[in-house]
């Protein structure tokens, strides 16, 4: 199964955060799953790191590159179709990063690995 990762999912997975659910861990460890790391996640990490809201042991580019390599993640680009799909979304959620991830999940019919319960209002397949 192809699975789109939310930013907190990636961060909690790679730091073994106790907030990570057993199902999320199982999804992450299942070799049959293709874990997609959206450019949205890279953008959010870079922005939050730049604002001082996210501490990393290495620069964002290195952090992302190492996580992709060490966790067999598949980079997933943002397309124009993803970007304009955001305009069709009601404002159940105001976070622009999450709204773009929802648009990607809807446009590509992908489940989103996320603990954010507010995203279920969009009718996406959500794993947690």
pLDDT digits (tens, 9 = 90+) for 1-17: 999 999 999 999 999 99
State the Cα–Cα distance between residues 128 and 120, nearest whole angstrom. 11
5 three-class SS:
strand
The predicted-structure confidence for 92-116, as pLDDT tens digits, reads as follows: 989 999 999 999 999 999 999 999 9
Yes or no: say if 97 and 7 are a contact pair by the CB < 8 Å rule. Answer: yes
Residue 93 has what pLDDT?
86
- Structure token pair of residue 121: 């209002």
Comparing 93 with 125, the larger pLDDT belongs to: 125
State the Cα–Cα distance between residues 88 and 11, nearest whole angstrom. 29
Crossing angle for the helix pair 39-50 and 96-108, to the nearest 10 degrees: 170
The predicted-structure confidence for 22-46, as pLDDT tens digits, reads as follows: 999 999 999 999 999 999 999 999 9
- Structure token pair of residue 76: 């997933």
Statement: 2-127 belongs to CATH 3.40.50.1010: yes
- Structure token pair of residue 18: 């106790």
Distances (CA, A) of 48 to 23, 25, 97: 27, 24, 11
95 three-class SS:
coil
Which residue, among 41, 42, 43, 35, has the nearest Cα to 127 in the 3D structure? 35
State the Cα–Cα distance between residues 53 and 4, nearest whole angstrom. 23
What is the value of pTM for the model shown? 0.95
Q: How many residues does the chain have?
A: 128
Q: How confident is the model at residue 65 (pLDDT cuts 50, 70, 90)?
A: very high
């Amino acid at each position: 199964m192809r699975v789109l990762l939310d930013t907190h999912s990636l961060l909690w997975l790679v730091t073994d955060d106790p907030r990570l659910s057993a199902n999320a861990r199982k999804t992450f460890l299942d070799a049959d799953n293709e874990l997609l790391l959206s450019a949205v996640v890279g953008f959010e990490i870079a922005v939050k790191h730049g604002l001082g809201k996210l501490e990393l042991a290495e620069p964002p580019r290195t952090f992302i590159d190492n996580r992709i390599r060490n966790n067999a993640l598949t980079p997933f680009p943002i397309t124009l179709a993803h970007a304009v799909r955001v305009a069709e979304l009601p404002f159940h959620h105001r976070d622009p990063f999450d709204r773009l991830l929802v648009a990607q999940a809807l446009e590509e019919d992908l489940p989103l690995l996320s603990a954010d319960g507010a995203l279920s209002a969009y009718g996406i397949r959500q794993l947690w």
